[in-house]
């Protein structure tokens, strides 16, 4: 059983810095609003200028203001080991394996940051583990619900083989992507021979 996906890396679109500068201008104008002085009459102009710079920056960056993207390398996770790009880590050499599975591409997510929520781009998932060479952290992409199910099959194989790992969603531990407690957790442990 194998799970293969693209690695997500941090990167900056240099053209997007204009949009970031506009955010700083708009945010600083909010601070000016709370300082009692005669410059408060300029608040709408400074705020408007900040928003205009954000829009201009987004246009110049061709809409790509994200600070992450795809690597040319793949991540492969299997019962044999973990391959990050050209480097293979056999599972017998891997410790503290921790998967943080947030969302797949297109999944509607309402995490409280936005009033109406938004669709995920599938790039906010990550894997970290320790190996002989130190700690390894890598972001990975989930394309669809079916892609998540492929990862779930690997997790199932890990549980059946009693391989130590932790899966999480938004900081909370999960078991095959489910938050379990009480009777459900005990049944899960019994099914996989942990009870």
pLDDT in tens, the chain (195 residues): 899 999 988 766 666 666 667 767 777 777 766 776 666 676 777 777 777 777 777 666 565 556 667 788 999 999 999 999 999 999 999 999 999 999 888 887 776 655 556 778 888 899 999 998 799 999 999 999 999 999 999 999 999 999 999 999 988 899 999 998 889 999 998 998 887
What 8-state DSSP symbol labels residue 106? Answer: T
Q: Are the beta carbons of 126 and 171 closer than 8 angstroms? A: no
Q: What is the pTM of this model?
A: 0.73
Q: What is the dihedral of CA 142, 145, 148, 153, to 10 degrees?
A: -150
Contact 94, 130 (CB under 8 A): yes
């Amino acid at each position: 059983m194998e799970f293969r996906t693209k690695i997500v890396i941090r990167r900056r679109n240099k053209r997007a810095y204009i949009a970031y500068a506009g955010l700083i201008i708009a945010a600083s104008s909010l601070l000016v609003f709370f300082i009692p002085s005669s410059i408060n009459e300029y608040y709408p102009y400074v705020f408007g200028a900040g928003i205009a710079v954000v829009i201009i920056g987004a246009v110049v960056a061709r809409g790509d203001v994200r600070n992450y993207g795809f690597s040319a390398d793949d991540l492969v996770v299997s019962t044999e080991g973990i391959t990050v790009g050209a480097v293979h880590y056999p599972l017998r050499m891997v410790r503290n394996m921790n998967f943080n599975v947030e969302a797949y591409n297109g999944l509607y997510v309402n995490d409280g940051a936005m009033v109406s929520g938004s669709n995920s781009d599938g790039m906010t998932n990550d894997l970290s583990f320790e190996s002989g060479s130190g700690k390894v952290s890598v972001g990975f992409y989930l394309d669809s619900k079916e892609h998540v199910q492929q990862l779930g099959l690997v997790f199932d194989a890990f549980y059946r083989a009693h391989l130590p790992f932790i899966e999480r969603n938004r900081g909370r531990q999960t078991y095959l992507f489910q938050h379990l407690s009480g009777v459900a957790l005990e049944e899960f442990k019994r099914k996989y021979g942990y009870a």
